[in-house]
Amino acid sequence: MKRSERAALWFVLPSVFLVGLFSIYPILESARLSFYRMILMLPWLGDKYVGLENYRDLATDPVALDSLAVTLVFVGASAALEVLVGLGMALLLNESFRCRGLARAAVLVPWAIPTVVSSQMWRYIFNDRYGLFNFLLFGRATERYLAPLADARLAPAAIIFADVWKTSSFAALIILAGLQTIPDELYEAADVDGATAWQKFRRVTLPLVKPALLLALLFRTIDSFKVFDLVFVMTQGGPADATNVLQFYGYKKIFAEGMIGYGSAIAVGVFCFSLVLSFLYIRLIGASVLEKGAAR
Amino acid sequence: MRPLLALLLLALAVSHSARAAEIRFVTWRETQGFMEHLIRDFEAENPDLKIVRDIGPHSSTEFHDLVAQKFKNHDREMDVFFMDVIWPAEFASAGWALPLDRFFPAAEQKEFLPAAIRANRYSGAIYGVPLFVDAGLLYYRSDLLRRYGLKPPRTWPELVEQAKTIIAGEKTPGLVGFSGQFKQYEGLVCNMMEYILSNNGALWDEARLAGSLSSGAAEEAVRFVRDRIVGEISQRGVLAYQEPESLALFTEGRAVFHRNWPYAWEEANDAQKSKVAGKVGMTPLPAFLGGKSAGALGGWQLGISRFSRRPELAWRFIAFMTREETQKRIALWTGRGVAREKIYRDAEVLAKYPQFRTQFEISTAAVPRPPTPVYVPLSNIMQRYFSAAVSARDSDIDRLARHADRDMDRVLDLLRGRAAR
């Protein structure tokens, strides 16, 4: 082993240790627990190895399947909206104007607020008696006030909205970095050719920013698959399971019902879903980056 | 000289507060202000103890998850905690709540409402001391009933007929017959249980450990709620109501009948908050023909954590909170139903709250939800079933009930190991 390699090893070691302790170990432990029947409230049953029983139950549990659908709608809608809004924000922030530095910093504020805090804020905003949401819509006509978080159709939309508000700026940040790698000469050449602003966006910006868009989409998809805090604070999975996302369902199984084994199986299911998604995206992004390299 | 004296006093104060042992009390936020007063009085009486309040969420379900999580972590920072009436069996079975028999002997238990004591017992031991006792009951508009020469209904069909008579006669736009709690949450189980039990049905068969919601009596009661209570004399909004929303409808004068807990009496008769103050009556919930009125038992108990380092000191706080004098003060202060029977016969309390006479009858007859360590999973199954059954006009009740039974059978099966041992 070369000296520099040995030195590198020492630098990597602390991270390997931390990732192992706080990520790998809990994942393996959840996987192990998911093969057991383990119920906190019934300690006399002991921990019984049941093989794949929890997973078989999961596949036929109508609540879990509903919950999967709720999660997929949330992931699809929020990730897509976040990348779109993020793209808009990035395009704006990429233009030069006065106080651009300030605007770039300001955009990051929602992202920097802990989710639990911003969820609490949105819970107040959507309150059916004193919420700002109702005041903006109906003013003083309090008899028309809605209770979005108590309505099975509005509650998922409210949660998606809160997520888009909070994390679009993260997507914007990645996309902005992508925009800045586009050389100015390309736009100058387009100007010489007499391209319109739309044509420049469509033919120059979009193709070149595609890897950044995909990267933003990857991060947002995986991250929104793990949604928990928003639901925990804003709706507790209600009304009538309309926002019962998988992570929250797993949490309820473990902490409210004490079903450690079954809850772990749900957690592992979410983990596998994210894993598969990541692989798909990475292949997609890898391919598009290669394409770009070949074109040069 | 003076600074020295001040320093000495400070040192004394510090050493004193260092000696006062802390009792951690996990509770919910209480808005009437009595808790603060009682804690101050307790500390004055027990200078060696200091109560530190740990305030949890208001919703019972979220409070449960918080307390359960503390137990799961073997949290030593929780000594005394509040328990909803449905939790003692679960916390006892999990080995989280301390059995209190050595502090709370049978003779003393006799002073409390028997239904509340039953809810705190699990396999032969007692795990909580009841503080508040609630029971589902029926409020009605005494002025409207009088105007139509009606007596408070004894049966559910009678309630529906009376409501229809009054609505047809009054012609007030927006007036509905009934408001209760039909949102998908624990309160829905309480409401539905009151119909099912008063039709001689059961939530599940406790002896055979099997679901019984697809029995004829239970399905008939659920169908009645869907077609007549929700379908005929309520507005669709009740499907999203918990207690506060349903009470608001009643206090605005927009409902003839209202199902709620005893606390609603004071609010409904408070002229500041209610348009129907002085026009409200209270009576046991109706039953079906051949059945018995069955108000759900609710309420809050105090328990001691198994992981507490100082259960003896914690007990002193519980003893203070539940002794006769304190219970009387709480009753006088809040008008809420307390757990000691004697308070309901106290002249001073009755002078201030004449409704305590009726409330006592109703609380004595109240029925607890069956105590079991697996209550939470069973309740989740029931909540889904009841909500699906009553919210759609054409729900297939029989199919839904059989599904619920099958799911409940699986959970109840887990208890068989215990029986065999």
The residue-averaged pLDDT of B228-238 equals 90
What is the number of residues in chain A? 296
Judge whether A236 is closer than 8 Å to chain B, CB to CB.
yes
| Interface with B, mutate which of A257, A260, A262 (most B CBs under 10 A) | A257
Q: What is the pLDDT of residue B15?
A: 53
- Chain A residues lying within 8 Å of B93, measured CB to CB: 41-43
Question: Would you give the distance in Å from CA A72 to the centre of its chain?
Answer: 11
> Residue A289's pLDDT is what?
61
Closest alpha carbon to B185 in B369, B409, B382, B389:
B382
Residues of B with Cβ-Cβ distance to A123 under 8 angstroms: none
Task: Quickly list DSSP for chain A.
Answer: --HHHHHHHHHHHHHHHHHIIIIIHHHHHHHHHTTEE-BTT-GGG--EE-TTHHHHHHHH-HHHHHHHHHHHHHHHHHHHHHHHHHHHHHHHHHS--TTHHHHHHHHTHHHHS-HHHHHHHHHHHT-TTT-HHHHHHHTT-GGG---GGGSTTHHHHHHHHHHHHHHHHHHHHHHHHHHHTS-HHHHHHHHHTT--HHHHIIIIIHHHHHHHHHHHHHHHHHHHHT--HHHHHHTTT-STTTT--HHHHHHIIIIIS-BHHHHHHHHHHHHHHHHHHHHHHHHHHHHHHHHHHHH-
CB distance B414–A44 less than 8 Å?
no
Q: Residues 148..167 of A with a Cβ closer than 8 Å to B: which?
A: 150-151
ipTM of the complex: 0.76
Cβ separation B377–A257 shorter than 8 A:
yes
- Distances in Å between the alpha carbon of B203 and those of B176, B194, B195? 29, 10, 11
Q: B223 pLDDT exceeds 60?
A: yes
Backbone angles phi, psi at A178, to 5 degrees: -65, -45
Does residue B8 register a pLDDT over 60?
no
B149: exposed, middle or buried (Cβ count in 10 Å: 0-12, 13-18, 19+)? exposed
Average pLDDT over residues B49-74: 92
Q: CB count, 10 Å around CB of A185?
A: 8
Cβ-defined contact of A42 to B417 (cutoff 8 Å)? yes
Q: In this structure, what token pair is assigned to residue A234?
A: 């804003």
Radius of gyration (C-alpha) of chain B in whole angstroms: 23
- pLDDT at residue A295 in the model: 47
Q: How far apart are CA A191 and CA A197, in angstroms?
A: 9
Phi/psi for B158 (5° steps) reads -65, -40
Full DSSP string of B225-289? IIIIIIHHHS-GGGGG--HHHHHHHHHTT-EEEEEE-TTHHHHHT-TTT-TTTT-EEEEPPPB-T
Does A238 lie at the interface with B, CB-CB under 8 angstroms? yes
Q: Which of B240, B376, B417 sits opposite A150 (nearest CB)?
A: B240
Using a CB-CB distance cutoff of 8 angstroms, which residues of chain A are in contact with residue B391?
240
Contact (CB<8Å) B377/A238: no
Q: A residues 106-135 near B, CB within 8 Å?
A: none
- pLDDT at position A290 is 55
- How far does A63 lie from chain B, in Å, by closest CA? 9
**Average pLDDT value for chain B:** 92
What pLDDT is recorded for position B56?
92
CB burial of residue A31 (10 Å; 0-12, 13-18, 19+): middle
The pLDDT of residue B7: 59
Contact between residue A162 and residue A81 where contact means Cβ atoms under 8 Å apart: no
Would you put residue B200 in left (φ > 0), alpha (ψ -120 to 50) or beta?
left
Q: Does the beta carbon of B380 lie under 8 angstroms from any beta carbon of chain A?
A: yes
Which residues from chain B sit within 8 angstroms of residue A255, using beta carbons?
65, 68-69, 72
Label residues A262-271 b or e (16+ Cβ within 10 Å = b): bbbbbbbbbe
CA nearest to B126, candidates B339, B362, B330? B339
Average pLDDT over residues B139-148: 97
B377 CB within 8 Å of a chain A CB:
yes
What strand order describes the sheet that includes B80-84?
B49-56, B21-28, B80-84, B297-304, B129-135
How confident is the model over A139-158, as pLDDT tens digits?
888 778 888 888 888 999 99
- The answer to whether the peptide bond before residue A114 is cis (omega within 30 degrees of 0) is no
Provide the pLDDT confidence category of residue B6 given band limits of 50, 70 and 90. low
CA dist A179 and A172 (Å) reads 10
Is the distance from CB of B389 to CB of B405 less than 8 angstroms? no
% of chain B beyond a pLDDT of 70: 94
Q: Would you call A259 and B418 a contact, using CB atoms and an 8 Å cutoff?
A: no
Distance from CA of B184 to the nearest CA of A (A): 6
Amino acid identity of B226?
Answer: R
Residue of B nearest to A259 (CA): B377
Rounded CA separation A74/A94 (Å): 29
Query: How does pLDDT run across B268-317, given as a tens digit for each residue?
Result: 999 999 999 999 999 999 999 999 999 999 999 999 999 999 999 999 99
d(CA B232, CA A214): 54
Query: Alpha carbon A110 to chain centroid distance?
Result: 14
> Measured between alpha carbons, how far is residue A256 from residues A70, B67, B82, B361 in Å?
20, 10, 16, 34
Query: B375 with B203: CB under 8 angstroms?
Result: no
Helix (H) or strand (E) holding B360: helix B356-365
**Ranges of residues in chain A whose predicted pLDDT is under 70:** 1, 288-296
Q: Which residue of A has its CA nearest to B410?
A: A57
Q: In chain B, helix, strand, coil percent, each to 5?
A: 50, 15, 30
Residue B386: closest C-alpha in chain A? A240
Instruction: Name the closest residue on chain B to residue A147, using Cα atoms.
Output: B240
Residue A129: predicted pLDDT: 75
**Residue of A40, A63, A239 with shortest CB distance to B240:** A239
CA separation for the pair B321, B332 (Å, rounded)? 14
Q: What per-residue confidence (pLDDT) applies to A292?
A: 55
B149 CA to chain A: closest CA distance, Å? 33
> Is the pLDDT reported for residue B239 higher than 70?
yes
Which residues of chain A have a CB within 8 Å of the CB of B65? 252, 255-256
Q: How confident is the model at residue B5 (pLDDT cuts 50, 70, 90)?
A: low
The pLDDT tens digits for B342-359 are: 999 999 999 999 999 999
Q: Which residue has the tokens 């019902």?
A: A257
Q: Please tell me the least confidently modeled range out of A267-281, B116-130, B156-170, B206-220.
A: A267-281
